[in-house]
Amino acid sequence: MRSRRDFLQKITVSAIGLPLIQRYDTTGIQNFIHPSTQNKVLRVAIMGLGSYGTRVADAMQSSEKAKLVGVVSGTPSKIKDWQSKYNIPEKNCYNYENFDRMKDNPDIDAVYVITPNALHHDQVIRVAKAGKHAICEKPMAINAKEGQEMVEACKQANVKLLVGYRMHFEPKTLEIIRMRKEGAFGKVLFFQGLSGFRIGDPNQWRLNKELAGGGAMMDIGIYSINGARYMVGEEPIWVTAQETKTDPVKFKEGVDETIMFQMGFPSGAVASCLSTYTMNNLDRFFLNGSEGFAELQPSTGYGPIEGRTHKGKLTQPHKTHQTVQMDEMAAIILEGKQPVVPVDGAEGVKDLKIIDAIFQAVKAGKKVEVQV
């Protein structure tokens, strides 16, 4: 067995066994890029072959820069299905016991962790220790402390950690952000986010506190949190929150059904949001400024986003979010590209700090200050 020191020495050589070069890009952020992987594709293994994993795998078939080459699953039959469907070689198939061995596999660059929330922390740290870049579905963890540990583990292992914020690459969303930055809405005053759906099967992991780490907030409410931040363009300084539960059988202790929450920003802008597992198709963002407004509805669903502003309807064409995300994440990892809105681990930790504060505000029944 190798010592930790040996391990660290190995990964500073490179995740794929090639010498690293150091580069300073225009933003001053230090990036490590593998010269040999420039203009190549990011070879990705998906960990967790559930419905969202399948959606990402399908979308990746149209990606120019990311390629599905491996899988991690606890279910041999799923692995077999994926192998034949996506042409995955046996040597790139792992289970949850042996995926650390990936460190000796030069044909996998990154692992996309698409498992229940509470498992992300340990799994991402193991991926990092195997010298692979980690892409982690949101929420990146079940609290900010765990998220921060993941960030540090990836830093220490010299691998990138990205969080599956597909909306950060969505064209209509980016157009609104561009307009806000150029002052098209004037002084930003108000954001409203509705994020919810009616969840089905009461036995799914999303309703199991041990696996989900919470309820609707972790899964869908996070869209309104994250959306508030990129739409307003500031970080909140306080939150208030009110929880209600209409079905305490389906939504057990620690699994939130419906939470209304509010945030205040340094400029004086405020946000009013809803997170719910008990209402149909709530998916709307609204941004109001002194000179105009923006509306996205649907705002975060998988299908085409619809948007309008005081200047008219947004017409940027739809492209499958997960395809765009994988192309962009490949460019971030392989070419050091800087996205308009961050998708790194630090970004994920910010959302978790706010989620922590929301749960605290529900408990305390009063305003909680946050520093993200």
Give the nearer residue to its own copies in terms of CB position, either 158 or 272: 272
CA atoms within 13 A of residue 101's CA, in its CB half-sphere: 12
Among 63, 92, 173, 240, binds its own copies (CB under 8 A): 240
- For residues 94 and 191, which CB has a smaller minimum distance to its own copies in the complex? 191
Closest approach of Cβ 272 to its own copies, in Å? 5
Q: Hey, is 273 helix, strand or coil?
A: strand
CB neighbour list of residue 188: distance below 8 Å, 6 or more residues apart:
180, 232, 233, 234, 267, 269, 287, 288, 289
Give the C-alpha separation, 160 to 163, whole Å.
10
Reduced DSSP (H G I as helix, E B as strand, rest coil) percent helix, strand, coil of the chain, to 5: 40, 25, 35
Gap between the Cα atoms of 287 and 204, Å rounded: 34
Binding mask 292-331 for its own copies (x = CB under 8 A): -x--------------------------------------
CB of 165 to its own copies, least distance (A): 25
| Smallest separation (angstroms) from its own copies to the CB of 229 | 17
Rounded Cα distance between 152 and 133, Å, is: 13
Rule CB under 8 A: choose which of 21, 254, 365, 369 binds its own copies.
Answer: 365
HSE, side-chain direction, 13 A CA sphere, residue 297: 14
**Is residue 366 a contact residue for its own copies (CB under 8 A)?**
yes
Asked if 291 and 186 count as a contact pair (C-beta separation under 8 A), the reply is yes
Q: Is 224 in the site for its own copies (CB under 8 A)?
A: no
User: Least distance from C-beta 221 to its own copies, angstroms?
Assistant: 13
Sheet of 42-47, strand order: 93-94, 66-72, 42-47, 110-113, 133-136, 161-163
Site for its own copies in 142-201 (CB under 8 A): 189-190, 192, 194, 198
Binding to its own copies (CB under 8 A) within 275-294 occurs at 276, 278-280, 282, 288, 290, 293
Distance of CA 192 to the CA centre of its chain: 21
Q: Which is nearer to its own copies, 74 or 268 (CB)?
A: 268
- Residues noted as catalytic: 138, 223
Restricting to residues 44-83, which ones interact with its own copies according to CB under 8 A?
Answer: none
Interface segment toward its own copies; rule CB under 8 A; list 25-33, 50-58, 98-106, 239-247: 239-247
Minimum distance from CB of 243 to its own copies (Å)?
A: 10
Of the candidate residues 242, 302, 337, 369, the single one contacting its own copies (CB under 8 A): 242
Q: Tell the smallest beta-carbon distance from residue 175 to its own copies (Å).
A: 21
Segment near its own copies (CB under 8 A); pick from 128-136, 176-184, 200-208, 258-266: 258-266
Q: Could you tell me how far CA 315 lies from the centroid of its own chain?
A: 25
Q: Token digits for 285?
A: 């963002």
237 binds its own copies (CB under 8 A): no
For 68, 199, 215, the CA distances from 204, given in Å and listed in that order, are 26, 9, 11
Token pair, residue 40, equals 């190549």
Residue number with CB closer to its own copies (96 or 238) = 238
* Cβ atoms within 10 Å, residue 77: 9
The pair of three-digit structure tokens given for residue 268, joined into one six-digit string: 């004086």
Give me the phi and psi of 215, to 5 degrees please. -125, -125
* Positions 259 through 278 that interact with its own copies (CB under 8 A): 260, 262, 264, 267-268, 270, 272, 274, 276, 278
Residues near its own copies (CB under 8 A) are 189-190, 192, 194, 198, 240, 242, 244-246, 258, 260, 262, 264, 267-268, 270, 272, 274, 276, 278-280, 282, 288, 290, 293, 365-367
